[in-house]
Structure 1
Amino acid sequence: MTGTLGAVNRILLALTGLALLATGMAVLTASWPLGGRHEPLLTAQTRSRSWHADGWWWWALCAGLALAVLLALWWFVAQLRRPRPASVAVDTGDGAFALLRGRALEEAVAAEAEALDGVAGCRVVLRGTRGAPALRITLELEPYAVPADALAGLAGPVLTHARSSAGLPALPAEARLRVTSHRARRVT
């Protein structure tokens, strides 16, 4: 259902954008609605007027409009971005596939990673496609933790268990390590 709503959202956004573009082009070419086809948008007197004498606010207006256009374009490109997969296809062994919720896989990997020694927190994001998932893992390490040990624990038992539980032939992962901030101890 969510995929259908996302498609409807994108279609409505595209239609709204096209309508606004057509309206803007019509006003810019002065063919509608500002006085008819033969009436220009800016008169000769307005075009020949020096806008520099009117102060700084014209420049601020142009800069604000340019910023609004850039933000609208950024938002439009963000709408076209692919969302992360909602589920992972798991081979059941009888020729059929079951769907494993992506959030369940993320939570299971995060829970196992947080149980590792020296790991204060973990954030897991499922990437890729339904048939070829990948993980982006951010480990937050305690100040005393050894990064190599935490990474070995993640690459070994945690990812192996996730891969075998989901029945996946491969589960590529990208790990990012951060150390929690801590206060210095007082020496007395």
Structure 2
Amino acid sequence: MRKTLRTVNRVLLALAGLVLIGVGGTVLAGGLDLPRKWGFGMPSGWRWSGPGDVLLRAEDRTRWTDSGWWWPVVIAALAVLVLLALWWLLSQFRRHRLREMLVDSGDGEGAQLRGRALESVLAAESESLEGVNRARVLLTGRRTEPRVRVGLALAPHAEPCAVVARLSSEAIERARTSAGLERLPAEVRLRAVKHRAERVS
């Protein structure tokens, strides 16, 4: 289902992009007077074929302005479009947290494991590693193919390569084995903890 939604989302984005590029390109061509300079014609009925043309003619702009419902409807419609566009934009960057995942219980039926429970265990084990001050874990992906995003705040004396190696071979490997998964891909982001300088007297 999620894969289908991603496909539909990409198709809609591609169509919206093509429409905007097409309309913007033709308006720009008319504004720069390219049809006359380069000797080609615009589509029949196209209004914006020259620099003197306007996007909305006077009769179009003032057709319903005397009606009391016109401006409230226009403002409400534009507000809804802006909110939908913002929601759509923000949804592209949002990482969906995996609420639960399927675990092989060995009886052929399986069991469900809460995503936050696995995140808490992985975060606790990550923070127990030498050189790690804080850890944040996010479980993403699908129920049958989960993925892990780990953010580690390292102490100044920590060795990043050693921390990542232990994280992979210990915490993540134990989580993969206990959940009965063949693989558990992980993305690890490291940052150093900055300490404030203190005055020594």
Structure 1 partner of 2:9? none
Give 1:42's aligned residue: 65
Per the alignment, residue 105 of structure 1 pairs with 118
Q: Secondary structure at 1:174's aligned position in 2?
A: strand
TM-score normalised by structure 1 residue count: 0.60
Shift of 1:183: 2.6
Q: 2-side partners of 1:82 and 1:154: how far apart?
A: 22
Question: Which residue pairs with 2:168 in the alignment?
Answer: 155
- 2:108 matched to 1:85? no
Deviations 1:131-151 (A, max 9, x none): 000000000101111111111
| Counterpart position of 2:85 | 73
Partners in 1 of 2:130 and 2:86 — Cα distance? 42
Structure 1 segments unaligned to the other structure (5+ residues): 1-38, 44-64
- 1:137 corresponds to 2:150: yes
Q: In structure 1, what residue type is equivalent to 2:87?
A: W
What's the CA shift string for 1:84-116, capped at 9, x where partnerless?
Answer: 221110011121110000000000000000000
Q: Name the CA distance, whole Å, in 2 between partners of 1:89 and 1:114.
A: 26
The CA RMSD over aligned residues, in Å, is 2.9
Q: Distance in 1 between matches of 2:146 and 2:178?
A: 14
Higher relative contact order, structure no. (Cα contacts within 8 Å, ≥ 6 residues apart): 1
**In structure 1, C-alpha distance between the alignment counterparts of 2:88 and 2:136, rounded to whole Å:** 28
Alpha-carbon distance in structure 1 between the residues aligned to 2:90 and 2:148: 21
Deviations 1:4-51 (A, max 9, x none): xxxxxxxxxxxxxxxxxxxxxxxxxxxxxxxxxxx93136xxxxxxxx
Task: Give unpaired runs (5+ residues) of structure 2.
Answer: 1-61, 67-76
How many pairs were matched up? Answer: 130
Q: Report the alpha carbon displacement of residue 69 of structure 1 after superposing the two structures with TM.
A: 4.5
Q: 1:74 to 1:92 in 2, by over 3 A?
A: same
The 5 Å alignment of 1:116-131 reads: 116-131=129-144
2:140 partner SS: strand
TM-score by length of 2: 0.57
1:148-182, Cα deviation, whole Å (9 max, x unpaired): 11111111111111111111111000000010111
Using the alignment, how far apart are the partners of 2:65 and 2:158 within structure 1? 69
* Cα distance change, pair 147–67 in 1 and its aligned pair in 2 (3 A): farther
1:174 and 2:197 correspond: no
One-letter amino acid of the structure 2 residue matched with residue 145 of structure 1: A
**Percent same amino acid among aligned pairs?**
44
